Structure 1
Amino acid sequence: MRKLIVLTVLIGLVFSLGTSVLAAEEVNLYTNRHYDTDEEILDRFTEETGIEVNVLKGDSDQLIERIAREGENTPADLLITADAGRLHRAKTRGILQSVKTETLTQNVPVNLKDQDNYWYGLTMRGRVIVYAKDRVDPSDLAGYADLTSDQWQDEILVRSSANIYNQSLLASLVSIYGEKWAEEWAAGIVDNMARKPQGNDRAQATAVAAGEGDLAIINTYYLGKMINSDNPAEVEVAKSLGIHFPEGKYGTHVNVSGAGVTKYAPNKKNAVKLLEYLSSASAQKYFASANYEYPVNPDVEASELLQSWGDFKAQGINLTELGVHNEAAVKIFNRVGWQ
């Protein structure tokens, strides 16, 4: 069985991976993902290749800092984290190395990977609008810009500006429209908030169902998880909501969970093999069917549930832009009072 090493970084648990991590047929993965889907895929990789995967789990930003602190002595071979903004942060922190192979080039579209090949997207999600079916006519919804109209005064629910998903959404708008437009948009959202930002994406959806507001901004895979939840209350919430993919010239903001090979990877060859495997059709099909995420591999279809939501046009920017404009986005949030 694959060796599983779990770290709760938040409480500062320290452990030694030992000399076995240097074995030729092992690879050491640092990841913030906590899904059973990932465990199944890693088990399949080991079965097919004979390469054991040692897993270190923790908070994304703390894993990045850990790798930086470990420097040349890091046992980490591959870093997986959610959000292109964090992946860009890892790149600029100097803990990743550029890797390019024919397989990765074929499996991951150019806009869903770092422009210098320091990281590659593995799963994709859209940041969309969900609405109360009994109170909102979906024909009244269009693009992100329309959320600032007086029609939605005191009706919008969205999480804190400290959340990386919101930072990347705003960063995408900075990239597309410029800082002035993005700041006016953020100020308009603040004016239309139904309450002070609080909770995660599921909490926003639940608040819409409870009547605290008519609209929420959330990631698509949260709605998929709620629809298929073992909790009947979450299923009822999801059933009461409609999903709208923002339209207009630039479409819907998308983001990724992705991975990069660390700068001092002791098992670089195996790390590249694992990265290629995670972007392969077989792994992508499992990501898509079991975790309600969109595959990045263009040869793999989305799950039936996601297809039932309909097609959408994604923003065409390279996701590197989300990291490039993160600082500007955070400053805008502070200026407009988005807590």
Structure 2
Amino acid sequence: MGRYAFSALLLMVSSLASAAQPVTVYSYRQPFLVEPMLDMFTKETGIPTQVVFAQTGLEERLKREGRLSPADVVLTTDISRLATLVDMGLTQPVNSDVLNENLPSQYRDPNNQWFALTLRVRNIYSAKDRVGPAADIRYEDLATAPFKGKICMRSGKNAYNIALVASMIAHHGEAETKAWLEGVKANLARKPQGNDRAQVRAVAEGACDYAIGNSYYYGKMLEDDNQRGWAEAVVINFPNQNDRGAHMNVSGGAMAKHAKNPEGAQRLLEFLSSEQAQGLYAELNYEYPVNPKVAPSELVASWGQYKADVLPVAKLAEHHAAAVKLLDEVKFDL
């Protein structure tokens, strides 16, 4: 075999080995949602994946593993965890024309450290029989006298509510947001408790007339025989439609700081932003696609069009610490 032929063979073998190198994913997202997309990614690219699923503790694990960590990509469920990964120095930038084209700048980190992959609205639900639609409702209204004793809400320290408070700070400042939190707390029908679905159940059972919850839980309850009645007892309302628009949170992904397969990691993030994967996200979990070329699922579309807050999601991360501080100051959960 000639020298050039041998060099070409080595190059081909090296390329094949690189293509076969797996992408290791650390994921807060549930297996039922992630696995179909990873299978599709492998089918499309030939790149296998390995997944570590967890409900908590991935940040601490990455920090503990340091340079020895096998993680290439981290998938999270909200902006707070994306921001924490960056603050702990556990990510690295991804400079990708594909990601920039597929994802609006509002839903990307300004320094390319993370990328939103799905959207969800923080809706206000109203009792269908006792209240009916509340089309003009605003988050600000929840602190006013007509809502006294009528609101159910999970812990203020839940990541979804911290992000909502952070958005209020971004729009109104800390002093006004603190007053708003005090007003909402005074209007609660019970102490904060349970998850988002539990709030809708409480409305259905008459414990309160209004509840705050993410949009995709509404779809998940409608598909659950045991929970459909809860969802059918409420109206899903998109807040602040006559001013700034409804508060948006995201799930997203980032490349791990010590990724062993950065090329594969970038290809996976790009794939997850593609029309194909975004459509699957929409169908499987009733979330809104980030890629503007992709329509929501038929069920989600049936809830109606809405105006989204144009506040860059990165601003929520900037005000995260202040939001937690205000929740502590007003003793929201007590």
Fold conserved between structures, TM > 0.5:
yes
In the TM superposition, what is the alpha-carbon distance from 1:23 to its structure 2 partner? 8.6
Question: How far apart, in 1, do the equivalents of 2:321 and 2:163 lie?
Answer: 10
**Do the aligned partners of 2:135 and 2:238 also contact (CA within 8 Å) in 1?**
no
Report the counterpart of residue 7 of structure 1 in structure 2: none
Which of these residues, 205, 227, 233, is aligned with residue 234 of structure 1?
Answer: 227
Q: Which amino acid aligns with 1:115?
A: P
- Which residue in the other structure is 1:201 paired with? 196
Alignment of 1:168-317 (within 5 A): 168-229=163-224, 232-247=225-240, 248-317=242-311
Q: Alpha-carbon deviation of 1:98?
A: 0.8
The DSSP-based 3-state class of the residue aligned with 1:29 is strand
1:115 — aligned with what?
110
**CA distance, structure 1, for counterparts of residue 133 and residue 83 of structure 2:** 35
1:202-245 per-position Cα deviation (integer Å, ceiling 9, x unaligned): 0000000000000000000111100111xx33011111110110
Corresponding letter in the other structure for 1:122: L
| Structure 2 residue ranges without an equivalent (≥5) | 1-17
1:80 aligned residue: 75
Measured in 1, the distance between the counterparts of 2:182 and 2:112 equals: 35
Which of residues 305, 317, 321 is equivalent to 1:327? 321
Question: Given the superposition, is the C-alpha separation of residues 254 and 128 from structure 1 closer, same or farther in structure 2, using an over 3 Å criterion?
Answer: same
Paired residue secondary structure (2:203): helix
CA deviation after TM superposition for structure 1 residue 59, in Å: 2.7
Tell me the TM-score normalized by structure 1: 0.90
Q: Does the residue aligned with 2:163 lie in a helix, a strand or coil?
A: helix
Paired position in structure 1 for 2:89: 94
Structure 1: give runs of 5+ residues left out of the alignment. Answer: 1-21
Q: Relative to structure 1, is the Cα distance of residues 243 and 33 closer, same or farther in structure 2, using a 3 angstrom cutoff?
A: same
Where 1:233 maps in the other structure, the secondary structure is: coil
One-letter code aligned to 1:28: T
Per-residue CA distance 1:275-307 (angstroms, 9 max, x = gap): 000110000011111210000001000111111
Q: Does 1:40 align with 2:36?
A: yes
Work out whether 1:124 is the aligned partner of 2:126: no
- d(CA) in 1 for partners of 2:167, 2:134: 25
* CA-CA distance at 1:161 after TM superposition: 1.6
Residue 140 to residue 106, structure 1, CA distance change in 2 (3 Å)? closer
Q: Which has the larger radius of gyration?
A: 2
Q: Residue 138 of structure 1 aligns to a residue in which SS?
A: coil
Note the alpha carbon deviations across 1:95-146, whole angstroms, 9 max, x for none: 1001121100011110111111100000110001011100014247421111
Share of identical aligned residues, percent? Answer: 43
> What amino acid maps onto 1:269 in structure 2?
E
The CA distance in 2 between the partners of 1:244 and 1:23, in whole Å, is: 47
Q: CA–CA distance in 1 between the matches of 2:188 and 2:31? A: 32
Relative distance call for 1:326 and 1:238 in structure 2 (3 A) is same
Q: CA deviation at 1:147?
A: 1.1
Q: Report if the CA contact (8 A) 1:24-1:267 is conserved.
A: no
Question: What is the number of residues matched between the two proteins?
Answer: 316
Deviation at 1:75, TM superposition (A): 0.5
- Contact kept, 8 Å, 1:86 with 1:323, in 2: the verdict is no
Give the aligned partner of residue 55 of structure 1.
Answer: 51
Q: Which amino acid aligns with 1:297?
A: N
Letter in 2 for 1:262: A
Matches of 1:71 and 1:24, distance apart in 2 = 24
CA contact (8 A) 2:126 2:134 kept: no
**Secondary structure at the residue paired with 2:294?**
coil
AA partner of residue 91 (structure 1): V
Letter of the structure 2 residue corresponding to residue 320 of structure 1: A
